[in-house]
């Protein structure tokens, strides 16, 4: 077991999930269903585990097919495209007001 990688994964996902829409959904569900916080907790945990599992499986499969550098370049290009689209549509909505 690579404890450094385990700790790095935990810290990265924990910090990324703080204040995320999944946490806000859990807050809203537990507020609306105050009698059953355990059910909301277990459902939220199961969803996060499944989403993380799928991410690891897809990541492992991608690593088998693509070199790491190419995968990082594709991810960087994808994020850049999303950033440009967010900026572009943000300007369009401001000019419409």
Domain range for 47 is: 1-65
Q: Please, what is the average pLDDT of the chain?
A: 86
Q: Bigger pLDDT: 34 or 11?
A: 11
User: Could you tell me if 20 and 39 lie in one domain?
Assistant: yes
DSSP characters over 35-90:
T-HHHHHHHHHHHHHHHHHHHHHHHHHHHHHS-HHHHHHHHHHHHHHHHHHHHHHH
42 has pLDDT over 70: yes
User: Could you tell me if 54 and 80 lie in one domain?
Assistant: no
User: Could you tell me if 60 and 14 lie in one domain?
Assistant: yes
91: pLDDT confidence band, cut at 50, 70 and 90?
low
Gap between the Cα atoms of 58 and 69, Å rounded: 16
DSSP 3-state assignment of 33?
A: coil
Q: Bigger pLDDT: 1 or 33?
A: 1
Question: What is the pLDDT at residue 27?
Answer: 84
Question: What is the pLDDT at residue 69?
Answer: 93
93: pLDDT confidence band, cut at 50, 70 and 90?
low
User: Could you tell me if 80 and 59 lie in one domain?
Assistant: no
State the Cα torsion 32-29-17-76 to the nearest 10°: -120
User: Could you tell me if 43 and 57 lie in one domain?
Assistant: yes
């Amino acid at each position: 077991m690579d404890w450094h990688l385990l700790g790095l994964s935990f810290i990265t996902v924990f910090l990324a999930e703080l204040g995320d829409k999944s946490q806000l959904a859990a807050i809203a569900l537990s507020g609306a269903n105050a009698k059953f916080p355990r059910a909301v907790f277990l459902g939220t945990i199961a969803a996060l585990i499944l989403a993380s599992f799928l991410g690891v499986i897809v990541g492992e499969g991608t690593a088998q097919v693509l070199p790491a550098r190419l995968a990082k370049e594709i991810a960087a290009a994808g994020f850049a495209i999303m950033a440009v689209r967010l900026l572009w549509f943000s300007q369009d909505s401001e000019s419409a007001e």
